[in-house]
Every structure is written in structure tokens, then in C-alpha cells.
């Protein structure tokens, strides 16, 4: 556990802590019951840098503890597969991707996204440190280096494969403690007119409203667009376009190029900068009061769950995403409140949730429980859960934690 006293990007020594969620285990580390005794927790505390406005974890867990055995599969949910298919089509439509186009993906996971590009080009390379995903990406016939991407790996790749026309990094950059080194590697490997396309959760505004479930150890950084631009600039990369996308409750898709050959920034870049300023995201005062909002949520949710369990028995959780584990751990919920959680990721089924040790079961396990209240942990997939459950559970109620804590009826 490394403690962070300086801003990781601009090195200012004036970091200000503004939100502490206590000690929580890594929220993607689902366990077998036999592993519970070895489980470790780490503090989860957010700070902001008054110099560059970057919001960051005060201390970080070494990435090799988080990513060497990863249970989040790109192909784990139909909606994510659809998102990746769309992404490949959008990129193809926007840029002229031909048989000669080379594409590198950082954090290529099980190769799902790169496989969609196979119909356009064969110059594809994945990089992902998760050993347990190697076999899956081999099944997609995608060449994958089982490593963390950094500037020295970039030099090796440049020597062997040359520069790339596209580098894709979906939900990687906010997770990387040495983000400047990663971006310098991108700079090294991008061809002169090459484009970096990144996506990342855009959660600062929602965190400031008290929606804290995107804060976890993997998310070392919570970027504002302002802080992203200044971070990229340190690696001589220039953001040329940006769009808001709905994934993970709200994300940004960003297009960047090498500074010396970048296109002029699009109107969307200037508009988002203006929007952030108007919302006060660059004003240090906005960070005060977040802690009280988050504490109130905890109290309200616990009260609500107490009422529901008294009336209908223990709850059933819907979805076991990482963000759900932040809610469960911070609010002190466990098997006394929730009997089990259903999730369609096979790698999570049969295991228990980190920290709270609630069993995760497949959808089939729901068959005979039809009066209970549900807790929707995957609240960003509300519509798909509701349409799946409506018929069979029309008398049941569902607690929805965010964006506003409420109870809805399924019928
Ligand atoms: Zn800073």
C-alpha cells in the first residue's frame, strides 16, 4: 500500500482529502468461501489537487493485486458486447479503416472488441495483464501480450511492430497509477496522424452530488475534462474531440493525437470546458459537503432495508457489479440483510462478494422467491432488470440506490 502525499500528475504537495469510505477490500475480488480468511481491506479515500483539479485516491493498492486475476469479462454481458460492437462500427464509420490500418488495444480483456475489427483489418494487437483472460483472447485469435502497458513496453512494441494508427483504451486510463508513463507510451506508439480513443467513467459531477459508487481502488483517478486535458498535455497528447456516452452511468469518449500533428479541438471540447466551469467543477469549494451527502445516503438506505426486511424477509440483490460492492461495504450490509445476489457472470457465480460475503447465484436461483424486495445493485441497467423480472415478480418491490434512493414496484 503506497501512500500518496503529492498529486500523482502535477506533483503539487497540497492534496486535500474530501471523502473517506473507510477500509474496503478490492471490489472486483469475488472469493471462494475458503479464501475469506485471507481477504485484505484498504482505505478508500478521495482527495483533490487544488493546482490541477485532479481528483485521486489518497493511497493506492498495487495494480498487480487488482488486475492479475480479473473477473470482469468484456463478453460478460450482452449490453457490453453490444457497446463494443457499436464502438467498432462508429470508429469504422468515422475514420477510414482499411486492410492496412493497425489497431492496438490497451486492456484488451478477452479480445471481444478487437475481434469486431477483424472484418476490417488483421493488424490487431491486444495488451492485457490478466493471465486468466489469455485463453479467451486466444479463442478469438487475437494476438495479446499478457503485460501492463507502459512506456518501456511501448518501445518494445514499436521495435517489433512499428507505430499504430489507432490506440484504444477503454476504462484503462483512470485505473493506471502511473498515468503519465502510460500516456507517454501511447505517444511513442501512435503514428503521426494516429488517434488515441479512450473511454472512462465521467463521474466527478455525480460524486459531488453524493453518488459515490464509482469510487473504488481500481479508479485511481476521477477525471474532470479540465484535468484530463492537462494530464494528456504532460505526455504531449492533445485532446481533439470528446463526446458524452451513457455507459456505466455516464462516461466520456475522447479522441487525442500527438500534440505536434493534432487537428484543432472540436467545438465539443470547448463546450465541455465551458460547461464544467459553469458547474463549478474547478471551484475548490464544491468539494465541501460531499461527505455529509454520502453519510446521509447510508443512513437512509439502512433504514429502508430495515423496514423491507421486517416485512418481507431478507432482500435479494440484483447484479453484482464492482460499484454494488462499494455500496454494500460502505453501508455495512451483509448476509443479515441480503440472502443472495443474482448475476449472469459465470465467473462470479458460486463465489461470495468481497467484504460482505453474500453468495452470488445464477438467474435460475430466483425461481421460487416471489414476494421479496430486491436491491438493484446494477442500477444503471434498471430497464433491462425490470423487463426481465416484471412478469414473474409483479408483486415485488425494488430498492434503487441511485440517482435517487427510492423504492419502485415491479407491477
Ligand atoms: Zn495536481
Whether residues 139 and 248 fall in one domain: yes
Q: Residue 33: exposed, middle, or buried by beta-carbon count in 10 A (0-12, 13-18, 19+)?
A: exposed
Q: Is 59 a domain residue?
A: no
* 302 and 214 share one domain: no
Task: Return the pLDDT at 59.
Answer: 83
According to the model, what pLDDT value does residue 3 have?
44
- Span from the CA of 285 to the centroid of ligand 1 (angstroms): 16
Distance 245 CA to ligand 1 centre (A): 26
CA–CA separation, 353 vs 333, rounded Å? Answer: 11
pTM tops 0.95, yes or no: no
In a shared domain, residues 270 and 302: no
Ligand 1 center–CA 10 separation, angstroms: 4
Residue 49 located in a structural domain: no
Is residue 225 in a domain?
yes
Region of 142 please: left (phi>0), alpha (psi -120 to 50) or beta.
beta
Report the separation in Å between the CA atom of 11 and the middle of ligand 1, taken as the mean of its atom positions.
6
pLDDT at 70: 59
Do 330 and 370 fall into the same domain?
yes
Asked if residue 228 belongs to a domain, the reply is yes
Same domain, 307 and 261: no
Residue 166 lies in a domain: yes
- Between the CA of 110 and the centroid of ligand 1 the distance, in Å, is 34
Residues 212 and 352 in one domain: no
Distance (Å) from CA 198 to ligand 1 centroid: 21
Looking at the structure, tell me whether residues 323 and 389 fall in a common domain: yes
Separation of 54 CA from ligand 1 center, angstroms? Answer: 6
What's the CA angle centered on 148, arms 144 and 149, to 5 degrees?
Answer: 80
How far apart are the CA of 53 and the centre of ligand 1, in A? 6
Q: Is 190 helix (H, G, I), strand (E, B) or coil?
A: strand
The boundaries of the domain holding residue 282 are: 78-287
Q: Are 138 and 144 in contact (CB under 8 A)?
A: yes
Does residue 166 share a domain with residue 252? Answer: yes
CATH number at residue 111: 3.40.50.150
- Tell me, yes or no, whether 305 and 220 share the same domain: no
Centre of ligand 1 from the C-alpha of residue 47, in Å: 10
Distance 7 CA to ligand 1 centre (A): 5
Looking at the domain assignment, is residue 8 inside a domain? no
Number of domains the chain is built from: 2
Q: Same structural domain for residues 125 and 181?
A: yes
Let me know if residue 60 belongs to a domain.
Answer: no
Q: Which grid cell is 199?
A: 473511454
Centre of ligand 1 from the C-alpha of residue 202, in Å: 18
d(CA 134, CA 147): 11
Rounded to the nearest angstrom, the distance between the alpha carbon of 5 and the centre of ligand 1 is 11
Residue position matching grid coordinates 470546458: 273
The pLDDT value recorded for residue 1 is 42
CA distance 411 to 399: 14
**CA 235 – ligand 1 centroid, Å:** 14
Pick the last residue of a domain from 287, 319, 344: 287
Enumerate residues 6+ apart whose C-beta is below 8 A from 34: none
- What pairing do the DSSP bridges indicate for beta strands 144-145 and 123-127? parallel
CATH classification of the domain holding 351: 3.40.50.720
Are the CB atoms for 83 and 247 separated by under 8 Å? yes
Whether omega before 116 lies within 30 degrees of 0, making that bond cis, reads no
C-alpha 60 to ligand 1 mean position (Å):
16
State the burial class of residue 346 (Cβ atoms within 10 Å of its Cβ: 0-12, 13-18, 19+).
Answer: exposed
Ligand 1 centre distance from Cα of residue 231 (Å): 9
- Residues 204 and 338 both lie in one domain: no
Strand order in the sheet with 144-145: 144-145, 123-127, 102-106, 164-170, 190-201, 251-258, 237-245
CA 48–ligand 1 middle distance (angstroms): 8
User: Of 287, 307, 332, which one is at a domain's C-terminal end?
Assistant: 287
- Phi/psi at 369 (nearest 5 deg)? -100, 100
- Domain contains 347: yes
Contact 302, 331 (CB under 8 A): yes
Which three cell numbers, joined as nine digits, stand for 257? 493525437
Instruction: Point out the domain boundary residue: 240, 258, 287.
Output: 287
- 269 shares a domain with 303: no
CA of 282 relative to ligand 1 center, distance in Å: 12
CA of 63 relative to ligand 1 center, distance in Å: 21
96 Cα: distance to centroid of ligand 1 (angstroms):
37
Q: How far is the CA of 226 from the centre of ligand 1 (A)?
A: 11
For the chain, which residues score pLDDT lower than 70?
A: 1-4, 67-72, 369-370
Amino acid at each position: 500500500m503506497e501512500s500518496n502525499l503529492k498529486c500523482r500528475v502535477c506533483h503539487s504537495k497540497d492534496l486535500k482529502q474530501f471523502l473517506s469510505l473507510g477500509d474496503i477490500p478490492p471490489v472486483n475480488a469475488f472469493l471462494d468461501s475458503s479464501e475469506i480468511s485471507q481477504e485484505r481491506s484498504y482505505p478508500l479515500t478521495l482527495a483533490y489537487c487544488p493546482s490541477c483539479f485532479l481528483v485521486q485516491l489518497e493511497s493506492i493498492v498495487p495494480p498487480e493485486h487488482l488486475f492479475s486475476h480479473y473477473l470482469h469479462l468484456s463478453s460478460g454481458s450482452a449490453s457490453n458486447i453490444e457497446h463494443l460492437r457499436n464502438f467498432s462500427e462508429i470508429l469504422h464509420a468515422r475514420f477510414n479503416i482499411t486492410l492496412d490500418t493497425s489497431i492496438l488495444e490497451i486492456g484488451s480483456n478477452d479480445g471481444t472488441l478487437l475481434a469486431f475489427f477483424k472484418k476490417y483489418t488483421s493488424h490487431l494487437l491486444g495488451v492485457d495483464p490478466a493471465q486468466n483472460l489469455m485463453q479467451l483472447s486466444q479463442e478469438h485469435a487475437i494476438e495479446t501480450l499478457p503485460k501492463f502497458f507502459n512506456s518501456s513496453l511501448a518501445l518494445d512494441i514499436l521495435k517489433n511492430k512499428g507505430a499504430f494508427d489507432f490506440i484504444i483504451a477503454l476504462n484503462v486510463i483512470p485505473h493506471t497509477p502511473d498515468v503519465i508513463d502510460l500516456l507517454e507510451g501511447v505517444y511513442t506508439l501512435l503514428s503521426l496522424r494516429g488517434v488515441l480513443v479512450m473511454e472512462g467513467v465521467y463521474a466527478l459531477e455525480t460524486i459531488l452530488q453524493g453518488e459515490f459508487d464509482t469510487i473504488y481502488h481500481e479508479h485511481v483517478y476521477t477525471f474532470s475534462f479540465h484535468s484530463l486535458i492537462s494530464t494528456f498535455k504532460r505526455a504531449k497528447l492533445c485532446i481533439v474531440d470528446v463526446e458524452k456516452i451513457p455507459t456505466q452511468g455516464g462516461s466520456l469518449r475522447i479522441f487525442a493525437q500527438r500534440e505536434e500533428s493534432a487537428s484543432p479541438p472540436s467545438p465539443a471540447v470547448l463546450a465541455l470546458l465551458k460547461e464544467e466551469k459553469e458547474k463549478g467543477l474547478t471551484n475548490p469549494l464544491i468539494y465541501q459537503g460531499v461527505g455529509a451527502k454520502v453519510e446521509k445516503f447510508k443512513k437512509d438506505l439502512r433504514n429502508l432495508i430495515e423496514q423491507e426486511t421486517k416485512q418481507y424477509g431478507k432482500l435479494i440483490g440484483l447484479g453484482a457489479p464492482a460499484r454494488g460492492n462499494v455500496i454494500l461495504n460502505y453501508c455495512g450490509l451483509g448476509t443479515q440483510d441480503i440472502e443472495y445476489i443474482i448475476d449472469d457472470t459465470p465467473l462470479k457465480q458460486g463465489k461470495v462478494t468481497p467484504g460482505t460475503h453474500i453468495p452470488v447465484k445464477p438467474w435460475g436461483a430466483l425461481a421460487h422467491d416471489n414476494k421479496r424486495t430486491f436491491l438493484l445493485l446494477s442500477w444503471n441497467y434498471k430497464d433491462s432488470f425490470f423487463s426481465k423480472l416484471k412478469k414473474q415478480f409483479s408483486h415485488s418491490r425494488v430498492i434503487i440506490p441511485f440517482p435517487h434512493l427510492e423504492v419502485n414496484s415491479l407491477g
